[in-house]
Amino acid sequence: MHSLLLNRRQFLQSIVFVCCLLSFAGKSFAQAPVYDVKKYGAKGDGINIDTKSIDSAINAASAAGGGTVWFPAGDYLSVTIHLKSSVALYIDQGATIVAATPSETVQYDLPEKSENDLYQDFGHSYFHNSLIVGENLHDISITGPGRIWGKGLTREDLKEKNPGTANKALSLKRCRNVILKDFTIFYGGWFGFLLTAVDNATIDNIKMDTNRDGIDLISSKNVHISNCSINAPGDDAIVLKSDYALNSPRATENITITSCQVSGYDEGTFLDGTFLKTGRKNPTGRIKFGTESNGGFKNIAITNCVFDHCRGLALETVDGAVLEDITISNITMRDITNAPLFIRLGARQRGPEGSPFSKLRRVLISNIIAFDVTGEQAAIISGIPGHDIEDLTLNNIHFYFKGGGTKEQVGIVPPLIDSYPDPNRFGITPAYGFFIRNVTDLKMSDVEVSYLKEDLRPAFYLDHIDGADFQHVWAKNTKCSPVFKLNQVKNFTLFNSAQLSNIKLSQVDKKEW
């Protein structure tokens, strides 16, 4: 009996302790510094310009050593907002930060003096001409279920035209310890996010329905992008780059992209739920590495992502960058308007004189299915003479093309070197499934290609390949079209493919079967 009473007493004491702890925590939370922008003069009426009030709230939080700047429900019309270290913006449900339309009296910050604007587009070289900007900051965040509407932003390369205009919703440069989470961007200008040298960052549960690039992550380290839905019919949805905007090359490395959806529906119809496809014949909306590619791409994993009504996955290095140690898995695609997979090592060489040639190596791609892919282009894997793609592995790949290719198209020779790396520069390819050129050490297993309409091109076209190992391969073909066409191929093997006999070739100039 005594023991039971003791246990009961101890239990009640524990309950009292927990209640006291929760009460203390509640008081601490209530006393946490929160800076309501309306208390600093913001109207939130969508008519008055609230920039000074917003900046005043940010400055007050910064002067106190940090805190949260709160946007309650309302429409906050603004030009350039200036972030500061240890300050969070919280955009509440029903709150929208609206980019004001510039005029003689309403202007955004002017572009700053660039560290280097020789080797990348104007938009990648300047950061201050944005709706929200931060430079050389640490411990910052933008969160909350509200919205950023880039109503007054332009999607154009501004240069010296129209001073006082802006083309980026959010621009961060040389920042660390960053959280971007839960909010929505509609119409983000040229860049929804332009993030250059942003390290230790988390980007989670962001929705964008925008008119050009969604997320541009450039020369950054230790970044995690997850659970994002980006609709970008006019440009790339999520793109990794490494350029010269810092006046020296810096790699984009230690990056994960997971559980994201990218698409190219008509702008605005993703967020309103109508998902229209009338605006563009060849919408972009993809995940891509490049085109700016000076500093390198290393140690990157992409998994569990969905592509819908857009272009395919693209890995491009053409300006001297090393692209290496990449894994990509569990990707599904539907209604793909160009090559479902584009792996390109080129020689645009946009960089200082004497910059090295690019390298592309140690890439593993697995578990990809693409249905209703354009009939004009196969998956394209292309290096250049003297600079092969190296150590590339593809397994468990299933591509279903529209088909319709002709016998005459088999004679097409895509360009070897082109100034801008994009699948569309290759035009119609001489194979319907895979066009592969200038690769050393290629391994493909459990690969299946098919078409919806009869196609007279070969399924696989290999050109200048050294080391190709194919296993468990199947391809739809007609009686008058081969599965494989080889040109200048060494060390080719094909095993365990029910459709074709095992074969091993040490060297062959031309062969098809």
Cα-Cα end-to-end distance for the chain: 89
> Which comes out higher in pLDDT, residue 5 or 495?
495
Across 326-349, b (16+ Cβ under 10 Å) vs e yields bebbbbbbbbbbbbbbbbbbbbbb
Percentage of residues of the chain with pLDDT beyond 70: 93
pLDDT at 225 over 60: yes
> How many other C-beta atoms are found inside a 10 Å radius of the C-beta of residue 226?
16
Q: What are the DSSP E strand ranges found in 404-495? A: 434-453, 460-475, 484-495
Q: Residue 468 has what pLDDT?
A: 98
Q: Residue 354 has what pLDDT?
A: 87
Q: Residue 33 has what pLDDT?
A: 87
User: Per-domain residue ranges for the chain?
Assistant: 68-310
Q: Residue 122 has what pLDDT?
A: 84
Q: Give the span between the Cα atoms of 486 and 506, in whole angstroms.
A: 12
pLDDT at 23 over 80: no
* CB contact set of 44 (below 8 Å; sequence gap of 6+): 37, 38, 50, 71, 72, 73, 74, 75, 76, 95
Q: Residue 161 has what pLDDT?
A: 57
pLDDT at 29 over 60: no
Q: What are the DSSP E strand ranges found in 227-279? A: 229-231, 238-242, 252-258, 261-263
Of 437, 443, 445, whose CA–CA distance to 465 is shortest? Answer: 437
pLDDT at 12 over 60: no
Q: What would the mean pLDDT of 339-352 be, rounded to a whole number?
A: 94
Model pTM above 0.85: yes
Q: Which region among 62-66, 334-338, 418-422 has the lowest average model confidence (pLDDT)?
A: 418-422
Contact 464, 490 (CB under 8 A): no
pLDDT at 159 over 70: no
Of 354, 344, 339, 245, whose CA–CA distance to 295 is shortest? Answer: 245
Contact 296, 242 (CB under 8 A): yes
Q: What would the mean pLDDT of 163-169 be, rounded to a whole number?
A: 92
Q: Which region among 231-240, 326-335, 340-349, 418-427 has the lowest average model confidence (pLDDT)?
A: 418-427
Q: Tell me the pLDDT band of 489, cut-offs 50, 70 and 90.
A: very high
Q: Residue 361 has what pLDDT?
A: 98
Q: Residue 20 has what pLDDT?
A: 41
Q: Give the span between the Cα atoms of 195 and 135, in whole angstroms.
A: 10
The whole-chain average pLDDT of the chain stands at 92
Angle, vertex CA 164, rays to CA 199 and CA 178, nearest 5: 15
Q: Residue 147 has what pLDDT?
A: 98
Q: What would the mean pLDDT of 23-31 be, rounded to a whole number?
A: 41
pLDDT at 18 over 50: no
Q: Give the span between the Cα atoms of 233 and 221, in whole angstroms.
A: 27
Give the largest CA-CA distance in the chain: 96
448 CB-side CA count, 13 A: 12
Q: What would the mean pLDDT of 91-106 be, rounded to a whole number?
A: 96
Contact 145, 89 (CB under 8 A): no
Q: Which tokens is 41 given?
A: 């003069």
Question: Please, which residues bridge with residue 89 across strands?
Answer: 69, 142
pLDDT at 4 over 70: no
Pick one of 2.160.20.10, 3.50.50.60, 2.40.110.10, 3.40.50.300 as the CATH number of 68-310: 2.160.20.10
Q: What would the mean pLDDT of 448-464 be, rounded to a whole number?
A: 98
Percentage of residues of the chain with pLDDT beyond 90: 83
pLDDT at 3 over 90: no
Q: Residue 2 has what pLDDT?
A: 44
Q: Residue 83 has what pLDDT?
A: 98
Contact 379, 342 (CB under 8 A): yes
pLDDT at 373 over 90: yes
* CB contact set of 230 (below 8 Å; sequence gap of 6+): 192, 206, 207, 208, 210, 214, 215, 237, 238, 260, 261, 262, 263, 285
pLDDT at 21 over 70: no
